[in-house]
Copies of this chain bind each other. A is one copy, B any other.
Amino acid sequence: MRDKFFDELALLTDFYEFTMSAVYFTHDMFAPATFSLFVRNCPPQRKFFLAAGLERLLSILENFRFTEESLAYLESLGLFKPSFLDYLKTFRFSGEVWALPEGTIFFPHEPVVEITAPIIEAQLIETLVINVLNLETTIASKAIRCVLAAQGKPLVDFAARRTQGLEAAVQVARATYLAGFSATSNTLAGKLYNIPVTGTMAHSFVQSFGEEEEAFWAFVQEFSENSILLLDTYDTLGALPKVIKIARMLERQGKRLKGVRLDSGNLVSLAKEVRKRLDEAGLSYVKIFASGGLDEYAIYQLLAQGAPIDAFGVGTKVGVGADLPYLDAAYKLVSYDGRPVAKFSQGKATLPGSKQVFRVYDDQGKLKEDWIALRGEEMSSGTPLLVQVMKGGRRLSPPEGLDQIRHRVEEGIRRLPSYLLSLEPHGAKYPVYLTSALIELQEKVQQECQNLQQQKF
């Protein structure tokens, strides 16, 4: 069952990281480099991002090593010197990491992670760093929008079957829970991350019994009060009398049916009608769950139209971040051997030097503006966001619990000004400024870079 590739994760690297590293090795380039990971821009369908994936990244960095089999493969390519391959044998990540804690709200150009290590180390981990942070951050940044739309009603991750891979299914469950979902249908994710799991029946279950009522009875006999009956296999409203009969039977045993699930049709009118008929039957405690192609916009519309839905199952569209399935995340060299560096190409500019982000709140405690500063700058009016989490290749503190991260997200949401809470694709952008020290460094680096290139012509 087990795929081999998690043993050989150090090879999950764009091949040019190896060719570049081989050259650095030949030239004794072991000076420290700092790389900064940030998101280049925020398209209209997102107003902010939610940092996630750090815990997994740190675990990968702590355990980064090449297996004998991996090294034999690299050797077989016939491109690398024996001395370089020898060097990789004992290769470990020994660097330091500064990062936004998971669950931090952030904006374009703000460093999410900054890694300082001998350049070969910082380079060989590039693909892993971007991939791991990109996945969970992409999904968490979509999921939190559903949380905002649901106005406190519980959300359940239903995405496992259509995420981009099995690993993604587990990380999507984690990222959505981190962002404020209440549970997942993904059993393995439930086990690995201690997330509540939930789920009841599919249409195939009802069909396998032939008669719907028989299927409902069989389920309720097995799971009693934990049962949520799926209404739409044949006809949603037609299933209701059977549900009411079963609920009354449970009542005679002193028990209460948990709920019903709607999975197709006009969810607004169906939910209203189902609620009305359940209430008329004295079953106001039976909850209505809804699922089927939901995302933040659909949830918002359902509630705006007064659909009496108690909880939402949210699947594919969040699980692949359908309207923004990747972030334009870049991992860029910002200094080498004490020399700040930057790129100045249009749309792909980078900010030189290692950095800090300060967040300034207004007098209601809401986010007012952010400042990107050089690391080491102080700003009495702002709260620094980046924290050192790794030194000498080891974590500085044990992994954060998901509860702690969820608490940070809740706090973050409380502090969002109203224009950032809206799902509207347009409107004001959150102000992010560069400190004058950073601007001066940027200009200096640009000037030096021009001088250097001009000298050579």
Residues of A within 8 A of B (CB): 1-20, 22-24, 26-27, 29, 33, 35, 60, 63-65, 70, 73-74, 77, 79, 119, 123, 126-128, 130-132, 134-135, 138, 158, 160-171, 185-188, 190-192, 197-205, 207-208, 210-213, 218-219, 221-223, 226, 232-235, 238, 241-242, 264-265, 316, 319-322, 325-327, 329, 331-333, 336, 339, 341, 343, 345, 348, 449, 452-453, 456-457
Cross-chain contact of A2 among B6, B164, B221 (Cβ < 8 A): B6
A352 to chain B minimum Cβ distance, whole angstroms, is 10
Of chain B, the residue at the smallest CB distance from A224 is B79
Known contacts A127-B169, A132-B166, A235-B453; 17 further A-B pairs (Cβ under 8 A): A1-B65, A3-B6, A4-B192, A5-B167, A12-B187, A14-B199, A16-B199, A16-B201, A18-B199, A23-B218, A23-B222, A23-B223, A119-B208, A162-B326, A165-B165, A165-B167, A212-B453
> Do A188 and B222 touch (CB < 8 A)?
no
A262 to chain B minimum Cβ distance, whole angstroms, is 12
> Do B166 and A138 touch (CB < 8 A)?
no
Cross-chain contact of A29 among B4, B123, B208, B345 (Cβ < 8 A): B208
Say yes or no: A165-B162 contact (C-beta < 8 A), given A15-B190, A341-B207.
no
Tell me the complex Cα distance, A213–B255, Å. Answer: 79
Of chain B, the residue at the smallest CB distance from A213 is B456
In the complex, what residues of B have CB within 8 A of residue A79's CB?
223, 226
A107 to chain B minimum Cβ distance, whole angstroms, is 19
Tell me the complex Cα distance, A424–B114, Å. Answer: 43
Of chain B, the residue at the smallest CB distance from A69 is B191
Copies in the complex: 2
Cross-chain contact of A33 among B20, B138, B208, B457 (Cβ < 8 A): B208
> Do A164 and B162 touch (CB < 8 A)?
no
In the complex, what residues of B have CB within 8 A of residue A326's CB?
162, 164, 316, 319-320, 322
In the complex, what residues of B have CB within 8 A of residue A5's CB?
166-167, 170, 188, 192
In the complex, what residues of B have CB within 8 A of residue A208's CB?
24, 29, 33, 119, 333, 336, 341
A245 to chain B minimum Cβ distance, whole angstroms, is 11
A387 to chain B minimum Cβ distance, whole angstroms, is 24
Tell me the complex Cα distance, A449–B218, Å. Answer: 20
A293 to chain B minimum Cβ distance, whole angstroms, is 9
> Do B119 and A134 touch (CB < 8 A)?
no
> Do A218 and B19 touch (CB < 8 A)?
no
Tell me the complex Cα distance, A341–B10, Å. Answer: 48
In the complex, what residues of B have CB within 8 A of residue A138's CB?
164
In the complex, what residues of B have CB within 8 A of residue A223's CB?
19, 22-23, 79
24 contacts between A and B (CB under 8 A): A4-B192, A5-B167, A12-B169, A14-B158, A17-B199, A18-B187, A23-B221, A26-B218, A79-B223, A123-B204, A126-B161, A130-B161, A131-B161, A131-B166, A131-B169, A134-B161, A162-B329, A164-B320, A203-B333, A207-B343, A208-B341, A234-B449, A235-B453, A322-B326
